[in-house]
Amino acid sequence: MNENLFSSFITPTMMGLPIVIAITMFPSIMLPSPSRLINNRLISIQQWLVQLTSKQMLSIHNQKGQTWALMLMSLILFIGSTNLLGLLPHSFTPTTQLSLNLGMAIPLWAGTVITGFRHKTKASLAHFLPQGTPLPLIPMLVVIETISLFIQPMALAVRLTANITAGHLLIHLIGGATLALMSISTITAMVTFTILILLTILEFAVALIQAYVFTLLVSLYLHDNT
């Protein structure tokens, strides 16, 4: 109970060196890869989920946008696996670090914007000034649209960080309350423990949903620029 509430979000180190790179690579090692002519059930389910997600996410894209299929599938698998990794006891969640999420959001957002300016220059510039705008409002609207464009990667990163961090804090607080109530009221402790189990199940869903939302928004940015 004397542990710092935010101690689980501190980047772990070994011999004074951060080991976050090894932690982020660990989930990809755990994902099985097909090596047989006939796959087992686990790999078949994995391939079915990847095909279902890619089909749903890439259905809105043209041929140029579909070239990002491998990038988008790798992104959703990476975020989903690291989110689930953080739900293990005494583990570290890389996606609670805003710097990591910005490191994913900014290059992907920049890639979609550069693609738009390269292949659809007029349409990309037209987003800064809606059609039929009164002449006195043109400078203000250009500034507002420019700010909204540059806020997109920040919104991506902050949304993912806030949702994952909030869930971990709730689990930590309710778990601490359950331990404290064990010596006071067993019935109340059992109620809070039930809430803790339900919240943990919810966090498993949130971990996958946030990975899907992050990738879907990147996909929508790409769709607007291809």
What does the pLDDT look like over 119-131, one tens digit per residue?
887 777 777 777 7
Residue 1 has pLDDT above 80, yes or no: no
Distance, in Å, from the CA atom of 6 to the CA atom of 112, rounded to the nearest integer, reads 35
How far from 117 is each of 59, 67, 77, 78, 94, CA to CA, in Å?
A: 23, 17, 29, 28, 32
Least confident among 127-141, 160-174, 196-210 = 127-141
How many other CB atoms are found less than 10 A from the CB of residue 133? 12
CA–CA distance, 111 with 75 (Å, rounded to integer): 14
Question: Closest Cα partner for 220 from 116, 130, 142, 137?
Answer: 116
What mean pLDDT do residues 26-36 have?
67
**Torsion of Cα atoms, 176 then 182 then 186 then 187, to 10°:** -10
For the chain, which residues make up each domain, given as ranges? 7-225
Q: Give the pTM.
A: 0.78
Residue 106's pLDDT is what? 92
| pLDDT value of residue 91 | 75
